[in-house]
A and B are shown apart, each in its own frame.
Chain A
């Protein structure tokens, strides 16, 4: 297989600018992640520690096998919103007793670990990942329940949590609940609906209604331990399967449960040499354009994420703005689609064909998305760009092999769909910090709005104030800019997280490995291709 060459010049101005810009963005990413890790802040962290309890990330770290990686997902949930960064919890994929699991932990230092609308989205997304990839789900619970002032945004969608738990169980995906503290009211159904439940003595509190609610409802005076203590549930109600003496014991028991799941991955293991790329991934900082309007060759990215920088390009001379071909990442065979410009009809057809081939061969697909859209204009519309774009979207939408999307630059317009954006259900979607996402570029969008307004004014015979329009256009463009950033997008779970470009290969390796826990099989059929 061909080893890709490189034309990257680390001394070039563009490289240096990109690198400086990317490092600044990575600095912002680090700050944001630090906020997420800080939980509810020093005061609440200290209070939690003073109770002799472990922090959620400490629980997760202890649960994980030594030396195993942990791919945190949706780390910056709610970034820049009124809610705490991270959505009062932690979620990610890690190895427990030799099994890749989806681990979720509530953060009791943030409003007692109460679920807020963003935290709920994060939890639901992680359950979706667990189900799709057949990853055992482990919940580390210590939560005050729903953030009651926000109940309107939580109550109705929140019901899915419990539905998912039992559906996972039905699908033979194990669910574990380790209860470290309160898990009450609706939250009681998390342990209640899990396959295995461990409760920590003197800490776990699991009941539908606490003492005040019981008093209100029936007049009964009940204490917390009798209503929902760990010992009661382990000896009397049977809601708890294991009584843990303390937190460490609960984690130890959780690890033992997983060790006895008799778990086997259904997908094939890595089958190709997993040598490092020939070209230094460090260069990715200088390759990815900080200004997404500046194009860069996606092959330079491929050369820094595939095993040995190997890439067998498919149809290299046809539809050149969409690069397609085969490679392997950490030993897993993959088909890669990467943008080198706008999608035209030949690119759309090429992409659709390539996706079909990978489905015939059960090869997972990696989309390196840097797309400003499908080509517009009379010639292209008359050439059937809609028809060809539809072919690509048909192929993407109906493909059944696992998809992995990395947003490495722009993601504008229907290009987002054709290149397997969020709505197309990639198993995992990660972004680089320079990434921009919107229906179109902010400049175009503001310009289009301005033209529409001017036309409307003309139609109405009204005078058009160009200065005022310009001011409005600028303001609108600025607003769109701010809503197009990687940080804005990741806060809203449009992706599974922003990654350091240098980690792209590692992240893809872990995502591939997780996806191979489930069967890897192409689709037997597609929708009707409009020919």
Chain B
């Protein structure tokens, strides 16, 4: 039995929303907070919210958040007596947990031994199997040789042993593809986790991902907080999670949770953990792994589990983690917990679903979460925040709690839609479309849900939405210039007045997903009505601006009134209206010196590091041939030849850092070559 040991100052060895989340509870418990930050994170939200912050230096995680010595030094210098690892980074690193203990710091998590045991997925499986938890049989690959699969039927899944979050994961449907898949998985695993062990296991069709939240104290109690379903995934990463699972009835819940608790007890598990299962549509489930940390999606459990004696007060898992870490017993028993309503979480990422969920970077020109009852934002960003290339592009988790699953889904979709987030591409409209999808609402989920329903496709705004947005941006500009007193004539003279009108005022915007700019005309009629024209459409627009709310405009377009918000930032006009959000770039009235556009140039889709250059100048390539491998956001991106041709220029070298849109290789199409 450990000595109770109070925590007075907590160092959070993480960044982003989880650092903010942990510090929020710490503050509420009277615990001082210490943030750590890399160089690009010096002005990050988690730094702003901490009492103290220590710069770790470096940009890449491997130079900052993953450097144990720097973290321990930060704790020592600030006098922190405990370390919360969050998730990711060193959260499941047994050596770090051990180093904390050795440095006399309380590590908020399981013991180093448990972390080590669970970190090895093969070992974890054996341990769980011994505890009577159902598992899928699998084969480990440790060397160059791909072992015989010994009767494991195809398709199979190749997974990194040390991995998580889909890195180093491949589905293989044909035996002939296995060798390549294993090699790639090993390479990714080595790069991401420093351990290239992978294993191969049967692949369940239309599987569902179910997991059980457990929390054990040092006094032998292990509680569960039911299951979560995390079947909505993209690139093997969860994007929408919920509790409870629509698949799970009371009977199945009892089986799942007792399996989880049995396993945890067998391990002597302390602190928060998650036992992950893969489930068939029929409700059969198999152990996948134990995550020895707080999960990203923990809030859905917090929101649905209520204490009998405080029905309105949700559970706070971070508080329980801290109590357990202090050596205190869990303050309630399993019977005190009650499942109330339904909670769904959506992960708002800076990424572009339409281009394979490529991470997006940029400055958040505006971050204004929707304020709605029943909606919780766990955000790690603020207006002006720089979303860079170095870390996971999660901006915030948006969680809705309501009496029923359908209500929670619709509420969450609305919260996403009503949030003003601009400056970087996000998966917001993808999320709200998924939440409103009839199959989602009916609970027909599986991990291939997004592909099955084609949800990643771009959803450009409709004509009406574009017209309303363009009108809002144009007329907000008129109001802004008027407020700014930009003209030397009295501001009371009607805007754009003409005594011999030959044409309307013109303004053009670049519209995402539209080739031609939206070139709009507008003029103010004598009766105070604006005529706004776009493409073939002419609309009558009445505008009401609100004093003191410079960004809000009420626009009555052909008889339908809508409130629009227009945020101007440089030449960007970020418009939010009930018809959707759009980022319009106002085109300059006059051409400016052009940016380099290389004909036949293949550009980097995002900032990253050149991992491999597969061609040299003069090489003949066929369509689909690999040209360059770019590593960005810890993923490999293969740049392949879009057509047959000749490489005329290679502009990058291995190891080089490149910006988005940088020209990597110039390719001349076959047959295009001209006589010298």
Contacts and interface: CB of A to CB of B under 8 A. Distances in A.
B531 to A, nearest CB: 15
B488 A66 contact: no
Contact of A36 (B478, B481, B491, B500): B500
Given A98-B487, A98-B488, A330-B493, A57 B503 contact: yes
B481 A66 contact: yes
Interface string B488-516: 11111111111110110111000000000
A521 interface: no
Contacts of B502: 37, 57-58, 61
B505 A66 contact: yes
A513 B488 contact: yes
B28 interface: no
A33 interface: yes
B490 A330 contact: yes
A67 B500 contact: no
A497 B492 CA distance: 22
A69 B496 contact: yes
B489 A510 contact: yes
A499 B477 CA distance: 29
Given A72-B500, A251-B590, A502-B526, A67 B492 contact: no
A274 B492 contact: yes
Contact of B503 (A61, A71, A72, A249): A61
Contacts of B478: 66-67
Given A67-B482, A249-B591, A274-B492, A72 B498 contact: yes
A69 B591 CA distance: 24
Contacts of A507: 499
Nearest to B590: A252
Interface string A43-59: 00000000000000110
Nearest to B503: A61
Interface string A253-285: 001000000000100001000111000000000
A160 interface: no
Contact of B488 (A37, A99, A255, A499): A99
A66 B500 contact: no
Contacts of A37: 500, 502
A373 interface: no
A58 B488 CA distance: 22
Given A67-B478, A98-B488, A503 B505 contact: no
A68 B490 contact: no
Interface string B572-608: 0000000000000000011100000000000000000
Contact of B489 (A58, A62, A513): A513
A509 B477 contact: no
Interface of B is mostly: loop
Given A61-B502, A497-B499, A506-B497, A69 B489 contact: yes
B673 interface: no
Nearest to B499: A72
A344 interface: no
B486 interface: yes
A69 B494 contact: yes
Given A58-B503, A67-B478, A330-B493, A249 B590 contact: yes
A265 B505 contact: no
A270 B489 CA distance: 9
Interface string B457-494: 00000000000000000000110011000111111111
Q: Which of B497, B526, B591 has the most CB of A within 10 A?
A: B497
Contacts of B493: 69, 330, 506, 509-510, 513
A61 B591 CA distance: 16
Contacts of A154: none
A275 B493 CA distance: 11
B503 A68 contact: no
Given A61-B503, A513-B489, A69 B497 contact: yes
B106 to A, nearest CB: 62
B488 A100 contact: yes
Contacts, number: 99
A126 interface: no
A79 to B, nearest CB: 13
A95 interface: yes
Interface string A473-506: 0000000000000000000000001011011001
Nearest to A330: B490
A65 B487 contact: yes
Contact of B499 (A95, A98, A252, A499): A499
Given A497-B499, A507-B499, A331 B492 contact: yes
B590 A95 contact: no
B503 A33 contact: no
A509 B499 CA distance: 13
A274 B490 contact: yes
A116 interface: no
Contact of A33 (B481, B500, B506): B500
A75 interface: yes
Contacts of B591: 248-249, 252
A70 interface: yes
Contacts of A66: 477-478, 481, 496, 505, 507, 589
Interface in A98-127: 98-100
Contacts of A65: 486-487
Interface string A227-250: 000000000000000000000110
Nearest to B588: A252
A332 B490 CA distance: 9
Interface string B299-340: 000000000000000000000000000000000000000000
Contacts of A69: 489, 493-494, 496-498
Contacts of A100: 488-489
Nearest to A331: B490
Given A36-B500, A72-B500, A67 B590 contact: no
Given A37-B500, A252-B590, A497-B499, A67 B489 contact: no
A509 B490 contact: yes
B486 A503 contact: no
B488 A67 contact: no
Contact of B490 (A58, A255, A270, A499): A270
Contact of B589 (A62, A68, A275, A276): A62
A28 B664 CA distance: 64
A519 to B, nearest CB: 16
A172 to B, nearest CB: 18
B488 A265 contact: yes
Given A67-B478, A67-B505, A248-B590, A75 B500 contact: yes
A449 B500 CA distance: 40
Interface string B67-92: 00000000000000000000000000
A499 B494 CA distance: 16
A509 B481 CA distance: 19
Q: Which of A33, A65, A249 has the most CB of B within 10 A?
A: A65
A68 B590 contact: no
B543 to A, nearest CB: 13
A95 B503 contact: no
Nearest to B498: A70
A95 B487 contact: yes
Interface string A73-97: 0010000000000000000000100
Contact of B492 (A255, A509, A517): A509
Given A57-B502, A58-B503, A68 B496 contact: yes
B500 A68 contact: no
Contacts of A499: 499
Nearest to A62: B589
21 contacts: A33-B500, A61-B506, A62-B590, A66-B481, A67-B505, A69-B496, A70-B497, A95-B489, A100-B488, A248-B590, A248-B591, A249-B590, A249-B591, A276-B492, A330-B490, A500-B499, A502-B526, A503-B499, A507-B499, A510-B497, A517-B488
Given A66-B505, A67-B487, A275-B492, 4 more contacts: A37-B500, A37-B502, A62-B589, A99-B488
6 shortest A-B CB distances, which residue pairs? A252-B590, A69-B497, A330-B490, A274-B492, A57-B502, A72-B500
